[in-house]
Structure 1
Amino acid sequence: MRRCRYRLCCLLLGAVLVTSSCGEPEVPEEGLTGGWTTAGCEFSRRPATVTMGGRILPATPPALEAAMARIDAGGRADHAGSYAGLEVDQERVRAIVYRVPSAAFDDFIRLSAEDTCIVVRDAAHSLAELAGWNDRIVADLDAWQANGVRISSVAARHDGVGVEIGTRDVERARSAMPQRYGRSAPLIFVEQGPVIPLGEPGVPTAPQPGG
């Protein structure tokens, strides 16, 4: 009987992150081909906020949210071999797109960004590739349970690093699963107990500086 339906298949498609800002232009980071930024990153912007329940919370400006939606939709539809996912950095009023290097997708990002700030970073795997691995592992959940590997969650990471597998049996999973899927399978193992069922999955947020 299949009981694992909590956070499984929780593909973080179009992930959004939040970090703090000093209002300075982004410095490109080294990567497979080097990171780069759109022209909109040359300008500093005041972070947007929203008041909820008497608390002031960070928010994503409509223009940036629209640019992210265009990039996410186009990445999945027309650039699936490159697009890995994205985040939003609300404090610095920018989005971060992860992609397997592709000149065509980079041109699409520049066009879709308009005057917003988009930071582009390299990814090892596309979302489409990781989704395939995710589905394969989920299909094998009962078999792994029978073999003593208790898997709590399976999620394709939005940064394209791999498929993250939460399990109470990390060492056993790390030894057994590559034997089934191959040593080159992009699997990341993290220790995790039973997962409480979630509602609608949210969008990830970027870690705060120093966190």
Structure 2
Amino acid sequence: MEWTTPGCALSRHPHTEAGMPVTPPDLAAVIAAIDEAGGRDFAAAYAGVEVDQAGVRAIVHRVPAADFDAAVRGLTPAGVCVVVRDAAHSRATLAALQERITADLAEWEGRGVRIETVGARHDGSGVEVGARDPERARAELAARYGADAPIVVVRSGPVVPLPG
């Protein structure tokens, strides 16, 4: 399910500087305010926010909560477009799982499960784990954290730093 603020009904055009897309200041301010309030006052609901540069809008992901929805409306001035979408999990819930997995990295390494990346998805869908052998990692992570744990395993090689 999703809903939008009234500003989404207005015509908007992408902003660029030196040919690169940029977030307009009014949208950037709304994004910052929602992110701050979401993390501080609505941790059980807030999952994350993304910027749609082409659409000149913010997309807020949250576990449905009337009080958070009211806060988003209150933080969004006329003319700014914010799309609010349902999320399965809050950022706080995913951060806790991410921390558990990260704390166990040495153990996973010792068991031969090569985990390269761990990060909560901003849309609240789960914790993404990048592994060299995703099938094995998926099975072992489910056995450790539960079959219903919101873990999304993807194939990933080792992280390689960019040359300086």
Deviation at 1:197, TM superposition (A): 4.0
Choose between structure 1 and 2: higher helix proportion.
2
Matched, 1:114 2:81: no
Match of 1:30 in 2: none
Q: In structure 1, what residue type is equivalent to 2:45?
A: S
- Report the CA distance between 1:149 and its aligned residue: 0.3
Give the corresponding residue for 1:75. 38
- Counterpart in the other structure of 2:52: 89
TM normalised by structure 2 equals 0.96
Overall identity of the aligned pairs, in %:
55
Q: Of 47, 50, 54, which residue of structure 1 is paired with 2:14?
A: 47
- The range that moved more, 169-178 or 144-153, is 169-178
Equivalences for 1:155-174 in 2 at 5 Å? 155-174=119-138
Give the structure 2 partner of residue 139 of structure 1.
103
1:183 is matched with which residue? 147
* Greater share of strand: 2
Equivalent residue for 2:24, pick from 46, 58, 61: 61
CA displacement at 1:133 relative to structure 2: 0.3
Residue 40 of structure 1, CA deviation: 0.7
Cα root mean square deviation, aligned: 0.9
Q: Deviations over 1:137-164 (max 9, x none)?
A: 0000000001110000001000000000
Query: TM (normalized to structure 1)?
Result: 0.75
Shift of 1:119: 0.3
Gaps of 5+ in 2: none
Aligned: 1:105 with 2:68: yes
Q: CA deviation at 1:66?
A: 0.1
Q: Deviations over 1:54-108 (max 9, x none)?
A: xx01110000000000000000000000000011111111000000000000000
Q: Give distance in 1, aligned partners of 2:31 and 2:76.
A: 8
* Inter-partner Cα distance in structure 2 for 1:130 and 1:197: 26
AA of the residue aligned to 1:79: F
Aligned letter for 1:158?
H
The 2-side partners of 1:75 and 1:193 are apart by: 33
The SS at the match of 1:158 is coil
Paired residues in the alignment total 161
Q: Tell me which stretches of 4 or more aligned residues in structure 1 moved more than 2 Å.
A: none
**1:30-50 Cα distance to aligned partner (Å, 9 max, x none):** xxxx21000111101221111
